[in-house]
Homo-oligomer: A and B are copies of this chain.
Amino acid sequence: MNKLPSSCKFILQFLKYNEILSAQELHERMRLSSSKAPSLSTTYRSLEILLKEKQVQSVEFRDGEKRFELVKIGEHHHHLICETCGTIVHMEECSIIHWKNRISEEHGFLLKQHVMEMFGLCNLCTTVTDQ
Contact = CB atoms under 8 A, between A and B. Distances in A.
Q: How many copies altogether?
A: 2
A114 interface: yes
Interface string A2-43: 000000000000000000000000000000000000000000
Given A60-B60, A107-B80, A116 B119 contact: no
Contacts of A131: none
A118 B109 CA distance: 10
Interface in A68-122: 80, 82-83, 89, 91, 95-96, 99, 103, 107-122
Interface of A is mostly: strand
- The contact size tier of chain A is 20 to 34
A19 to B, nearest CB: 19
16 contacts: A60-B60, A80-B111, A82-B109, A83-B113, A89-B109, A109-B120, A109-B121, A109-B123, A110-B120, A110-B126, A111-B118, A112-B120, A113-B120, A114-B116, A114-B118, A115-B116
